[in-house]
Amino acid sequence: MFARIPPSALLGLVLTALFLITAVFAPLLAPYGKTEIVGAVWEPMTSEHWLGTDNLGRDLLSRMIYGARTTIFIATMATVLSFTLGSILGFTAAVVGGWIDQLLSRFVDLLMSIPTLIFALVVLSVLPSTVLTLVVVMGVLDATRVYRLSRAVAVDINVMDYVEAARLRGEGQIWVIFREILPNALSPLVAELGLRFIFMVLFVSALSFLGLGIQPPEADWGGMVKENKDGIVFGIPAALIPAAAIAALAISVNLVADWILNRTTSLKGGRGA
């Protein structure tokens, strides 16, 4: 089944796994507390503080590890929300059709016509800044993209003879959606899942960088770039480390998503000769 994993995908898998392990076991791995002040401001890298200290004299490595936890957790929750919401609504719109489809699709068009970041900024500055609001806002905004994709995929599958056969048998909409359409729509959706997750990581980082995401003293990568950005003019690399981590996570998940996409398309008879 797993014939051979190409090196790029292997690299992606290993890195993604490392990030995930770090996120899950953060309290065990971090040498210091996330808000504990352990030294002077912006100390260089030493054997005691591998990545140095940040703008308040906290251990940067420990903040990176806790930051991985926050960033990945929020991105995961928002992705799960956007996929559940987007795909169920998208499938329903495709299968039921008619005015439900029109209503949902035009509403999604409306949401998509507003730039996501600006929309999120407005909503988040009005609502109380909790993790829940953040996840809900990000999830709902991103669900529009998932809706578009899953509706398009489901419309294609919906006209297949096997779906018609299920309807002629008298199956209900729930069976049609979950048993006939969903299994066949999974491969494009799984590939999209990786990409959406990366967007979520970037999104939450951007919001935190702008001060509307995770609130200090909680650690998260976007917020850490913001906290340490003033050091750059003094030649202090503390801001670049969380930035690099964001990039590394994005790339490694992308490599995995790419590989999954290739593998699932070859299941359907190869990627063309």
Partner 1 sequence: MPEDSSLLEIRDLRIEATVYPPGEAPHDITIVDGVSLKLKKGKVLGLIGESGAGKSTIGLASMAYGRGGVRITGGEVVLNGRDVLKAGKQGLRSLRGKEVRYVAQSAAAAFNPAHRLMDQVVEAAVVHGVANRAEAERRAKNLFRKLSLPDPDNIGKRYPHQVSGGQLQRVMTVMALCSEPDLIIFDEPTTALDVTTQIDVLAAIKDAIRDTGVAALYITHDLAVVAQVSDEIMVLRHGKLVEWGRTQQIIKEPRKEYTNQLVSVHEIEHREKEPSGQPVLSVKNVTAAYGGGPIDVLKDVSVDIHPGQTLAVVGESGSGKSTLARAITGLLPPKQGSVEFAGRMLPGRLAERTRDDLRELQMIYQMADVAMNPRQTVGTIIGRPLEFYFGIRGKERDQRVDELLEKIEMGHGFKDRYPAELSGGQKQRVCIARALAAKPSLIICDEVTSALDPLVANGILRLLLELQAEEDVAYLFITHDLATVKSIADSIAVMYQGSVVRYGSKSKVLTPPFDDYTDLLLSSVPEMEIGWLEKAISSRRMESAGN
CB of 91 to partner 1, least distance (A): 15
d(CA 242, CA 240): 6
d(CA 30, CA 33): 7
By beta-carbon proximity to partner 1, the closer residue of 106 and 169 is 169
Taking CB under 8 A as the criterion, the residue among 27, 44, 97, 183 binding partner 1 is: 183
Contact 54, 228 (CB under 8 A): yes
Q: Is 164 in the site for partner 1 (CB under 8 A)?
A: yes
The stretch among 27-35, 111-119, 209-217, 261-269 that binds partner 1 (CB under 8 A) is 261-269
CB-neighbour burial class of residue 94 (10 A; exposed 0-12, middle 13-18, buried 19+)? buried
Q: Which residues pair with 49 in a beta bridge?
A: none
Q: Is 165 in the site for partner 1 (CB under 8 A)?
A: yes
d(CA 67, CA 220): 4
d(CA 144, CA 153): 14
Q: Is 128 in the site for partner 1 (CB under 8 A)?
A: no
The stretch among 43-51, 177-185, 188-196, 214-222 that binds partner 1 (CB under 8 A) is 177-185
Q: Is 168 in the site for partner 1 (CB under 8 A)?
A: yes
- Give the interface with partner 1 as residue ranges (CB under 8 A): 1, 3, 160-162, 164-165, 167-171, 179-180, 183-184, 266-270, 272-273
